[in-house]
Structure formats: structure tokens, C-alpha cells
């Protein structure tokens, strides 16, 4: 039999559900004695590493080279681009001494790497033949968040990937932004994470960017979470850092640049939050550390030997088919094992007891629907293949169905104030004035997240908040 519900309801108290799950499933430990820094444990690290691998493959396939820059950045570098340092300086961790002596120049722990990368690009890029240059690194970054921290969602050290791309023309840079969008959409679809691709408002751009494009999902508590961004930088960094190249006519020009940042920590949190239920995680097949868990249910005597042998043979068969398989031969009772693997979100559990041995069959439990079925031994490989695809499809469709139910069209201020308390993403006509956006946040707690970039939405009528003529349709939500 399956385990009883052990966690508080995700829908009624997401924060407690999330914290309890990270702790009880041994995913992360926030008892490390530096606030905002956590220890990632094996099952969560597998998810994070899987997401890293998905993005790294797509980036390499699209022509990027992987690099690794130092963690420390001279403060003089950070201050080279005025808008950039203004946006980050208050969040920077600073190293001022080493070996018992004060450093000649303070060093910032990497909050993002533009100011580390561009001094090197100025050495590497000389000719149009050096372009395009597409680089990425998989690293952690450090920001002294002043808001309340929560593991993976808002921390002071988090995992991400950052690309730094340089091109001879503005068109190539804009094409790269579209390529970033393609990569993001493909991976979020594979992970079953619903999202809105949005062009941020001018006052909400990445510091130093000409344009910022972001990917927002929604958590069960009704807060939007930015899980990736891509930025069109133009010459904003290549000029201050004197990155230049000679074109075919011998003219020295500055390259157009972009950067792309999938937030790996937040994507991992979104997988947990989006698909999980009151029994624990529900993992898509492609990021589960143990895609299939075999649970022997033995009785003493000869039957125990036959059960063990059947489990071992099935494990060998499934591993040969390329699946990640684990047989739980621990001393725990079957109910305890069921509870453990449901909490850890393993997509499939195969139960083998004396009945299964006698019937030349197995019992398969699928985690997403929490349903059992009996499958004959001769059909196991085929059924597992079918279920792996069904689980990916079902988790994706369920997540998108919930997400779409949380999108709400609003046309007047009173409705914005009313709906703001209910955890929706609001779609509204907007005047585009920064002051209006500030008033919306002040009075409702909602932030204007920007306009859609995947579809054209024509404005009409008046701003839903202030009544001025609308210039675009935007989406607003509470935010982490």
C-alpha cells in the first residue's frame, strides 16, 4: 500500500511545504552557518547537474565554447560601466585582505561576469575574423540579497550559466537573442515548466543592457519567478572596455554583444515547486536520479531467493536499456520505502513480491498519477518506454493547465487591487509610464513584468491602472 500524506498542502502553505520537503527529503541543508548559503545534497545536486547538462549541450551545439573565468573581479573593472556598477555595487561581496595583509585593490566576488570577461575580450578580439565569439561558463555567483532568503529561490550564492557573445553586426546580436529564446523554450518544455517570455520595462532592464528579455514562471504561492534572462548589450560594455576589431576595410569598430543567463538554481526550484504534490517531489523522467526504483517485497524461505533473483535480473535488463535503476534492498518496511521514493519523486516504482513471481509479472507504480498497474514480464521494456514518455507529457500538460488558469485579464484599477491578493498573473493595458508602474507596485504589490515577445498583442483603449492611453499590453505579478 502507498504512504499516507505527510506534507502540509502545497496549495495552502507553499513556503512551509517547500522548506519541509527540502529538509525531510534531504535535498538541501540550510544550517550552514552563513546566512543565505546552503549545502546542496546528492538528490538535488543531480537535478541541478542535469539542468546544467541540458543547457550546456544546447549551447555547444549552437556554436558556443565553454570557458571558466576567475571568481574575483577587481573593483576597478566593476566600475568601468557606470549603470552596471550602480545596479550591482550594493549587492557585492568584497574581499579586502588576504594572507593577513590588505589587498592593493579590493576584489568583488562575481555578481555576474561582464566586467571580468570584457577586459579579456579586448585582448582576444582584433579582427572581424575573430567574430562571432560565443563563450559560456557554468558557475556560481554571489549577491548580498537583502530580502528574506529561501533555498534556491533567493540566495546569496546560486548556480547559473552565463554566455558572453560578440558579433560584428547588430543583426547578428539580435539573432542570438532569438537563439537564446529557442534554447530556453526547448528546455523549459522538456522540464514541463510553464513560462511567459517577456520584454522587461525600460526601468527593469539588466544594469547596462539596451534591452532585457526574461522568462517568468509562477510558483504555487502566486509569486512570479524569473528563471532566465537574455540581454541585448549593444556597445554598452564593448566601448568602455575598448573591445574592438578591424573590419574588411580596415575600420576599427566595436562589436555588438549579448549575454544569456539561465538561473540553474531557480530552474531546479521550479521543477520541485511546479510538479510536486503533498507527498513530495514529482520529477520529470529526464532529471530523476533514480528513474526506476525496484522494491522487493520478500517473505522468508525460498520465495525470498526467487524475489531477489527476479529483482536483480530486472535491474540488469533495465540498466542495459539505458535507464537509471536502483533496487532498494534495505531493511525498511515496504511502506517506508514507498514513502521515501514518493517523496524523492522517482517516476516509476516496480514492486516484486511472491505474487509477481508466481504470475510472471510486476506491479508498476507511476508517481505522477499515483496509480498502479500489473505488467507481464514480456511487456516490461515496452511499457517502461511508453510510461517514460507519458510521464513527461502528463507532467507538462498538468503544469501548463494550472499556469493558464492563473492568467487573468483585468481592465480597471479596482479589479487589479482585488485580484492582486489571489496570486494571479494579470494581463492589462498599460500606459508605459514608470510612475504608473511604481504606483501599481506601491498600492497592489504587483510588479509590471513586461510584454510578450512570442506573440503580438496590440494595445487598445486605456491603461487599466491610470486611465491614460495604452501603449502596450503587459503582464504583472507579485515577485520573488
Per-residue pLDDT of the chain (480 residues; tens, 9 = 90+): 344 557 899 989 999 999 999 999 999 999 999 988 999 999 999 999 999 999 999 999 999 999 999 999 999 998 887 677 677 778 899 999 999 999 999 999 999 999 999 999 999 999 999 999 999 999 999 999 877 678 999 889 999 999 999 999 999 999 999 999 999 999 999 999 999 999 999 999 988 899 999 999 999 999 999 999 999 999 999 999 999 999 999 999 999 999 999 999 999 999 999 999 999 999 999 999 999 999 999 877 667 899 999 999 999 999 999 999 999 999 999 999 999 999 999 999 999 999 999 999 999 999 999 999 999 999 999 999 999 999 999 999 999 999 999 999 999 999 999 999 899 999 999 999 999 999 999 999 999 999 999 999 999 999 999 999 999 999 999 998
Cα distance between residue 172 and residue 233, in whole Å: 12
Judgement on whether residues 362 and 469 belong to the same structural domain of the protein: no
| Domain CATH code at residue 322 | 3.40.50.800
Tell me, yes or no, whether 194 lies in a domain. Answer: yes
User: What is the DSSP pairing of strand 223-234 with strand 65-66?
Assistant: unpaired
| Domain CATH code at residue 78 | 3.30.930.10
Tell me, yes or no, whether 392 lies in a domain. Answer: no
Neighbours of 31 (CB within 10 A): 8
The domain boundary residue, chosen from 247, 275, 303: 275
Cα distance between residue 280 and residue 272, in whole Å: 9
Judgement on whether residues 186 and 320 belong to the same structural domain of the protein: no
Closest CA to 367 of 461, 275, 456: 275
Instruction: Look at the chain and report how many structural domains it folds into.
Output: 3
Q: CA 476 → CA 200, 223, 465, distances in Å?
A: 11, 10, 11
Give residue 332's domain range: 290-387
Judgement on whether residues 198 and 322 belong to the same structural domain of the protein: no
Output the pLDDT for position 202: 96
Tell me, yes or no, whether 337 lies in a domain. Answer: yes
How does DSSP assign 339-359, residue by residue?
HHHHHTT-SEEEEEEHHHHHH
Are 302 and 308 within 8 A, CB to CB?
no
The domain boundary residue, chosen from 229, 245, 275: 275
- Counting every residue, how long is the chain? 480
Tell me, yes or no, whether 8 lies in a domain. Answer: no
Cα distance between residue 400 and residue 380, in whole Å: 30
Judgement on whether residues 304 and 444 belong to the same structural domain of the protein: no
Which of 368-372's residues contact partners 24+ apart within 8 Å by CB, and which partners?
Answer: 368/275, 368/282, 368/394, 368/395, 368/398, 369/394, 370/2, 370/279, 370/342
Judgement on whether residues 323 and 461 belong to the same structural domain of the protein: no
Tell me, yes or no, whether 284 lies in a domain. Answer: no
Residue with the three cell numbers 539588466: 206
The domain boundary residue, chosen from 359, 387, 415: 387
| Domain CATH code at residue 454 | 3.30.110.30
**Three-class SS of residue 59?**
helix
Judgement on whether residues 172 and 256 belong to the same structural domain of the protein: yes
Judgement on whether residues 259 and 324 belong to the same structural domain of the protein: no
CA atoms within 13 A on the CB side of 190: 16
Judgement on whether residues 181 and 112 belong to the same structural domain of the protein: yes
Output the pLDDT for position 4: 53
Judgement on whether residues 241 and 344 belong to the same structural domain of the protein: no
- Report whether the peptide linkage leading into residue 219 is cis, meaning its omega lies within 30 degrees of zero: no
Q: Per the structure block, which three cell numbers stand in for 94?
A: 568584497
Judgement on whether residues 51 and 187 belong to the same structural domain of the protein: yes
Judgement on whether residues 150 and 232 belong to the same structural domain of the protein: yes
Tell me, yes or no, whether 396 lies in a domain. Answer: no
Output the pLDDT for position 304: 86
Tell me, yes or no, whether 1 lies in a domain. Answer: no
Angle between helices 302-320 and 380-405 (to 10 degrees): 70
Judgement on whether residues 219 and 109 belong to the same structural domain of the protein: yes
The C-alpha angle with vertex 148 and arms to 142 and 149, in degrees rounded to 5, equals 45
Tell me, yes or no, whether 115 lies in a domain. Answer: yes
Amino acid at each position: 500500500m502507498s504512504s499516507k500524506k505527510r506534507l502540509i498542502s502545497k496549495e495552502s502553505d507553499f513556503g512551509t511545504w517547500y522548506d519541509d520537503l527540502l529538509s525531510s527529503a534531504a535535498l538541501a541543508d540550510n544550517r550552514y552557518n552563513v546566512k543565505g548559503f546552503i549545502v546542496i545534497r546528492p538528490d538535488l545536486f543531480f537535478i541541478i547537474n542535469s539542468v546544467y547538462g541540458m543547457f550546456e549541450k544546447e549551447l555547444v551545439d549552437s556554436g558556443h565554447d565553454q570557458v571558466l573565468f576567475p571568481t574575483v573581479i577587481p573593483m576597478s573593472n566593476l566600475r568601468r560601466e557606470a549603470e552596471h556598477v550602480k545596479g550591482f555595487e550594493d549587492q557585492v561581496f568584497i574581499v579586502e585582505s588576504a594572507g593577513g595583509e590588505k589587498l592593493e585593490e579590493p576584489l568583488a566576488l562575481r555578481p555576474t561576469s561582464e566586467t571580468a570577461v570584457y577586459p579579456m575580450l579586448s585582448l582576444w578580439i582584433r579582427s572581424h575574423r575573430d567574430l562571432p565569439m560565443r563563450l559560456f561558463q557554468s558557475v556560481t555567483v554571489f549577491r548580498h540579497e537583502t530580502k528574506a532568503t529561501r533555498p534556491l529561490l533567493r540566495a546569496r550564492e546560486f548556480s547559473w550559466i552565463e554566455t558572453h557573445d560578440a558579433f560584428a553586426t547588430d543583426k547578428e546580436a539580435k539573432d542570438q537573442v532569438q537563439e537564446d529564446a529557442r534554447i530556453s523554450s526547448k528546455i523549459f518544455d522538456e522540464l514541463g515548466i510553464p513560462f511567459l517570455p517577456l520584454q522587461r520595462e525600460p526601468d527593469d532592464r539588466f544594469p547596462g543592457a539596451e534591452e532585457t528579455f526574461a522568462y517568468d514562471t509562477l510558483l504555487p504561492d502566486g509569486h512570479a519567478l524569473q528563471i532566465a534572462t537574455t540581454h541585448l548589450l549593444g556597445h554598452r560594455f564593448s566601448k568602455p572596455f575598448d573591445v574592438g576589431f578591424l573590419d574588411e576595410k580596415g575600420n576599427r569598430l566595436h562589436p555588438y554583444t549579448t549575454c544569456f543567463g539561465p538561473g540553474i538554481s531557480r530552474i531546479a526550484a521550479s521543477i520541485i515547486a511546479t510538479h510536486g504534490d503533498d507527498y513530495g517531489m514529482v520529477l520529470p523522467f529526464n532529471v530523476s536520479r533514480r528513474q526506476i526504483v525496484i522494491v522487493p517485497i520478500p517473505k522468508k524461505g525460498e520465495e525470498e531467493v526467487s524475489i531477489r533473483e527476479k529483482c536483480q535480473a530486472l535491474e540488469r535488463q533495465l540498466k542495459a536499456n539505458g535507464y537509471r535503476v536502483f533496487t532498494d534492498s534495505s531493511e525498511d518496511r515496504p511502506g517506508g520505502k514507498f514513502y521515501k521514493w514518493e517523496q524523492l519523486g522517482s517516476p516509476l516504482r516496480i514492486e516484486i513480491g511472491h505474487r509477481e513471481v508466481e504470475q510472471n509479472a510486476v506491479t508498476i507504480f507511476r508517481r505522477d498519477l499515483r496509480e498502479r498497474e500489473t505488467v507481464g514480464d514480456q511487456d516490461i521494456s515496452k511499457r517502461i518506454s511508453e510510461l517514460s514518455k507519458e510521464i513527461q507529457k502528463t507532467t507538462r500538460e498538468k503544469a501548463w493547465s494550472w499556469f493558464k488558469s492563473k492568467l487573468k485579464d483585468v481592465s480597471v484599477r479596482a479589479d487589479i487591487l482585488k485580484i492582486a491578493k489571489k496570486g494571479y498573473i494579470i494581463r492589462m493595458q498599460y500606459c508605459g509610464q514608470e510612475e504608473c508602474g511604481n504606483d501599481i507596485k506601491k498600492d497592489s504589490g504587483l510588479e509590471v513584468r513586461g510584454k510578450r515577445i512570442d506573440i503580438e498583442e496590440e494595445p487598445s483603449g486605456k491603461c487599466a491602472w491610470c486611465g491614460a492611453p495604452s501603449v502596450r499590453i503587459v503582464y504583472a505579478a507579485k515577485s520573488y
